[in-house]
Amino acid sequence: MWMIRRFTTIRRFMMDLPATVLLSALLVGTPLVAGPACPGGQADALGTARVITIDPAETPRLGRKHFPTTLPLADMEVLLTFDDGPLAGRTDRVLDALARECVRATFFVVGRQAQAHPALLRRIAAEGHTVAHHTYAHPLLDRMTPAAAEREIDHGFAAVDTILYGTAGARPVVPFFRFPGFATTPALLARLEQRGIAVFGADLWASDWNDMTPGRQLDLVMARLEASRGGILLFHDTRLQTVQMLPAFLRALKSRGFQVVHGVPPRSRTAAARR
């Protein structure tokens, strides 16, 4: 009987998924995993539609703003990413907004910021978000020698992993990295690919490094999303205008039919990195 009930549950889940999601998964082999339950969110929360595994061996570079390839997202799917935190008074408010809507995101954290706010870093991880990497001190790596740049990257890996897992290995537990300012070099890209670390660009961004009102930023990012029909979206959780805009943005995603996807590394890779 338990197998019949399990099959019925899976069948209902598959029937409830949009056809575009099913077709995308069949074509690219992306695991179809339901998003997390939403026990503490509001009744009509946006939610996380599904979780996808991002394997650096298959997709070492992501984001059409910078690379030829990106994630195999379906129409109207968005993967939310935040850079430069954690920062007290900002990142915690971002986490509050995401929790209300039961949405999970990827945070590309700066090692120095993580050391300054370790409890906030642990909260990001504890609430089910993906903690990825953004160097130790946020320099532009294309202005450094390859050796110095790789040391800076590794310093960031070690700072974050030591806080979250008590130790740091030769490779980060979560093998996701984004260059500050997208300042890549061919040598560093090749080196990170060799080490099995996925480099994230973006498919679109909110341009929140420019000062604007939260309302103006909301209009801008929603117009870009409508034009692109989704993709990897870049925000900065350190920017007050983004913090102030985020609740309305998540409601706008819900009202306009967008769905949030959460990206995670392969389980076997994270388990191996922790040993």
Active-site annotation holds for 44: no
The reported pLDDT for the residue numbered 41 is: 66
Provide the 3-class DSSP secondary structure of residue 246.
Answer: helix
Please tell me which residue in 66, 83, 117, 129 is annotated as part of the active site. Answer: 83
Average pLDDT over residues 249-260: 98
Query: What's the pTM value of the predicted model, to 2 decimals?
Result: 0.86
CA distance 173 to 157: 9
Residue 206 near residue 65, CB atoms below 8 Å = no
Please tell me which residue in 66, 129, 134, 236 is annotated as part of the active site. Answer: 236
The reported pLDDT for the residue numbered 37 is: 64
CA distance 70 to 261: 14
**Neighbouring residues of 22: CB distance < 8 A, sequence distance ≥ 6:** 14, 32
Span 115-124, pLDDT tens digits: 999 999 999 9
CATH of domain 31-274: 3.20.20.370
Select the more confidently predicted residue: 269 or 200: 200
Active-site annotation holds for 83: yes
Residue 19 has pLDDT above 50, yes or no: no
Span 121-175, pLDDT tens digits: 999 999 999 999 999 999 999 999 999 999 999 999 999 999 999 999 989 999 9
Tokens found for residue 61: 């570079």
What Cα–Cα distance (Å) separates residue 272 from each residue in 59, 108, 182, 227? 19, 21, 28, 40
